[in-house]
Structure 1
Amino acid sequence: MRLLLAALHYNHNANRETAWRSDGTEKYCVRYPRFRKGAHVVRPIKEAASYGYATSLMKALRESYANSPAVLREVSANLSSDAPAPIAKSFEKIPKEEAVSLYLARQSCFKTT
């Protein structure tokens, strides 16, 4: 079910536009993925995701668990178990402004005018 829900969410939000600040510049975020072993990656921030499909799913879920609330409590307990801290928390972080400027410098090499 998680895989199906993830696929629904991806398909519903795959083609979002890039978010913009009020001054007309694009928004960026800095990430520290495991595969980069602590090195930073700059990505443009997309518009907020929409959850229009969730209302019908929640209604169906409510109807299916209406007769057995004990099953719902059991499933909720399993899903909310403690997860370990992300590995990326242990890496040294770079200031966002520096990361974005390095990203823009790299991207300017590929732009053709």
Structure 2
Amino acid sequence: MQNQHTGHGDHFPNCLHAEIEQRQNRKWLIPGTIACNKVLAIVNNPRLCKDIAMMSEKHQTSRLEAFHSLLNQFAPKTYHFLYRPQKCRTLLAVLHYNENGGRSQASTVDGASRYALTFPKFKKGGAVVRPVMVAASYEYVDKLLDLVVTRCNEGVIQPSQVDIPSFLCSSFERPDKAEAIAAHRTRFLK
């Protein structure tokens, strides 16, 4: 904005943009002017800087939400699974996500990117354009089956070898019933 492209501090010593074509009619902000100070106050606003930091890709939760959605398909919350089945379903969801989490966008025969129109409820009949991804891959299933068969034939894996943690409630001592009743009654006498 001020035609300064170097010396921005330790994190960004130089601008990352390409060479700017110098035109005589280009207007730059002059440092110290009211207009420049107002723009700098907006750009350096701590709330805006905090919001921009949250917009960076490393702070996004969309991939975590996508994994949780996938995990709900492998292990729905409407069903109760014991420890072993829940752990197996979670591990399968992890394998599936690791193989398919970074799928690219599908393209047409002409090489153009594919999109689909969807009509979500929050748009109340309005359309939203979403990219169409390439089909999911299930190559991990064949590799996993080969590994399991090999390990079972070698006698390495046996179902009884998996350590099952004790129930969470087993780590607490059950209080004496008479003491609990007495403590409950004294609460109301105060």
Query: Per the shorter chain, which TM-score range?
Result: 0.3 to 0.5
TM-score, normalisation: structure 2: 0.27
**Higher relative contact order by CA 8 Å / sep ≥ 6: 1 or 2?**
1
TM-score, normalisation: structure 1: 0.41
